[in-house]
Chains A and B, each alone.
Chain A
């Protein structure tokens, strides 16, 4: 089955700096890659996703890049703010709605 690895496990950045979280996957059939943000005491919330026919997708301060050849994808958050502090999970699946395989999570702390 699919194996998703996520790095780093913890990340601290100064407010206004950029944060990058990286994930690798093993199954070349995976073609849908969502990112979730989980705040304390809440369920994960989808923040951005990308499909394999696209190399990059951006939504305001958040962007995701995908390298299918290398089987890795990354989340980029620019101009970080304290409210970006949360745990971020990457995931991979063969298609949206199919079983998702989640990374182990990155705890992001934005220092004011």
Chain B
């Protein structure tokens, strides 16, 4: 079955720095999604990334803080900029349809970010 590879799997970062998270899919997909999962919480959609266009951000998330790239149909990056401890979360990429059309999301294994 298709695979999503996400890296890094975890990182500890200093306040004020930025971290770029990579998501690689082994098949072409139209839409890629980035989620945040704060400790002990549910999943919140950050943005939707389509190849060849700017990402669409959900309420509460802005491009300056979470710039996203989608250079082709198998790859995307999410950058967490100017980090603060409140950004400590698990960040997940996901795609639709890897299990067949209409079968919902497949998630990467996540990036556990700790900001100190």
Contacts and interface: CB of A to CB of B under 8 A. Distances in A.
B45 interface: yes
B53 interface: no
A97 B31 contact: yes
Nearest to B94: A43
Interface string A20-44: 0000000000001010100001111
A105 B42 contact: yes
Contacts of B65: none
A54 interface: no
Interface of B: 4, 6, 31, 41-45, 48, 92, 94, 96-97, 99, 101-110, 112
B103 A103 contact: no
A89 B110 CA distance: 16
A49 B103 contact: yes
A45 B110 CA distance: 12
Nearest to B110: A43
A73 to B, nearest CB: 14
A45 B107 contact: yes
B102 A96 contact: yes
30 contacts: A32-B102, A34-B104, A34-B105, A36-B107, A41-B110, A43-B4, A43-B109, A44-B43, A44-B107, A45-B107, A46-B105, A46-B106, A49-B103, A96-B96, A96-B97, A96-B101, A96-B102, A96-B103, A96-B104, A97-B97, A97-B102, A100-B43, A100-B45, A100-B104, A102-B42, A102-B44, A103-B42, A104-B42, A105-B41, A105-B42
